[in-house]
Structure 1
Amino acid sequence: MQANPVVWFEIYVQDMDRARAFYETVFDCRLEALGAPDGEAGGMQMLAFPSEMECAGAPGAAGTLVKMDGVPSGPGGTMVYFSCEDCAVEQGRVVGAGGSVFRPKFSIGPYGHAALVTDTEGNMIGLHSMA
């Protein structure tokens, strides 16, 4: 396995417009429509986070919000942590975007800081920063 082994993630949602508004507000970015993989278009919508797919071996992972028939969103799945300059900034946008703060910014010792928040679809995500 290579260092930083995650290369892709999907966050499942029930209401794409609501989820898009949450993530675009919290991370101050624009999500772009991504075509579903061949043979998967039925009942699937995808919005991609900003990424540079040509940067093979670079740290970080590309990913999307996905709305797919029969796939629930919510707690209990994989936790995705988003890199931030100061996770308190993004945490400060969460409630206004319709989410909630589960655990405000806290120290993780020499590994920086983290915050745990819940999006509008019930998914818990992590925010990580060294500051």
Structure 2
Amino acid sequence: MLEQAPLVWGEIAVADMDRAVAFYSKHFDVCFHRETMNDMEMAVLETADKEAASIGLVKHEMMQPSAHGSVLYLHLGPQLTPLVERISQAGVKVLLPVMPIKDGECGFIALFEDSEGNTVGLWSKEK
């Protein structure tokens, strides 16, 4: 058994960094700081806890947005239903409406399509 949570970092591939940053900032009220590492353009999600696992939007020739790859689940609010309703009303394509995991014992999930065509998940303990 691992002594710590295994996830330390996640990357979401983007084709248009400005569009992707605008999408996530608008719909999820999050902030990014942008940087370039070698030839990789990145926008790193800002968190209060600098040691916490986080994500970056990444534009690089070897990373292509896809609806058919790994799915990251983001915890972006205390309740999932109001967040999913808000993004749906804003025109974001919801791929999987809010559904419970083990009758809600393990929280709730939903899937959406981001501005780049990626399938991204949302999770919250409360519906």
Unaligned runs of 5+ in 2: none
Percent of residue pairs identical: 33
The 5-angstrom pairing of residues 1-131 of structure 1 reads 1-36=2-37, 41-42=38-39, 44-51=40-47, 52-53=49-50, 55=51, 61-83=53-75, 84-95=77-88, 99-108=92-101, 109=103, 110-131=105-126
Give, in angstroms, the shift of residue 88 of structure 1. Answer: 2.0
SS of 1:2's equivalent in the other structure is: coil
Q: CA, structure 1 residues 96+49, in 2 after alignment: closer, same or farther (shift >3 Å)?
A: farther
Question: Any stretches of 5+ residues in structure 1 without a counterpart?
Answer: none
- Structure 1 residues 114 and 74, CA, compared in 2 at 3 Å: closer, same or farther? same
Three-state SS of the structure 2 residue aligned to 1:94 is: helix
SS of the counterpart of 2:70?
A: coil
Query: Aligned-residue CA RMSD in angstroms?
Result: 1.8
> For this pair of structures, how many residues does the alignment match?
121
Please report the TM-score for the alignment, with normalisation by the length of structure 2.
Answer: 0.83
Q: Determine if contact 1:98/1:120 at 8 Å carries over to the other structure.
A: no
1:25 positional shift: 1.5
Distance 1:65 1:96, change over 3 A: farther
Instruction: Give deviations 1:1-41, integer Å, cap 9, x for gaps.
Output: 333210001100001111111111221111111331xxxx2
TM-score, structure 1 normalization: 0.81
CA distance in 1, matches of 2:70, 2:89: 25
Query: Secondary structure of the equivalent of 1:104?
Result: strand
